Amino acid sequence: MTPTTRKKILLGTLAAIIAMQFFQPALNIHSHPTHTAIEKHFDVPADVQQILKTSCYDCHSNNTQYPWYFKLQPLGWWLDHHIEEGKEHLNFDEFATYTADKQKHKLEEVVETIQRHEMPLKSYTLVHRDAQLNSTQQQQLIKWAQQLQQRL
């Protein structure tokens, strides 16, 4: 490969990276909780609510706290995909729109994913250390989800 060819490839790659920056995903930010949010319809103790906000809501609600690198593409697209996928599985801000059976099933999934250490995602806690759940927090969430599931 000639130096001229390498230079053209490098410039083309740089131009593509710069062009990507003009295509930003829409932000998942709402100014206030919706009337269908879980805490508007069910008892969510303050300690559980804090755990959910810190460890779950960035991907499982309609209000994401974005890191600085979200504006760098293709990282922003990757994060946006995770958020959309997370909301498809469970959206705490839309929880009251689910049928009672679906609510029970989602709470069962919350318990299972916490017990299997699948949530929060390792890729998320790698950057968001405060989102890692210790055993006490895991038990708090599991107990709350199981109790709510029984009341439904």
DSSP state for residue 138 in the 8-state scheme:
H
Mean model confidence pLDDT for the chain = 93
Q: Is residue 35 in a domain?
A: yes
**What is the reported pTM?**
0.86
Reported as a pLDDT band with limits 50, 70 and 90, residue 149 is very high
Predicted pLDDT of residue 105: 98
Q: What is the mean pLDDT of residues 11-33?
A: 85
Q: Is residue 13 in a domain?
A: no
What are the contacts of 102-109 at 24+ separation with CB within 8 A? 103/149, 103/152, 104/149, 104/152, 107/145, 107/146, 107/148, 107/149, 107/152, 108/145, 108/149
Q: What is the mean pLDDT of residues 55-79?
A: 92
Q: Is residue 4 in a domain?
A: no
Total length of the chain = 152
Q: Is residue 105 in a domain?
A: yes
**Residue 56: domain span:** 25-151
For residue 4, give Cα distances in angstroms to 1, 9, 57: 8, 9, 49
Q: Is residue 20 in a domain?
A: no
Domains identified in the chain, total number: 1
Residue with tokens 């017990």: 115
Q: Is residue 98 in a domain?
A: yes
Q: Is residue 37 in a domain?
A: yes
Reported as a pLDDT band with limits 50, 70 and 90, residue 32 is confident
Q: Is residue 59 in a domain?
A: yes
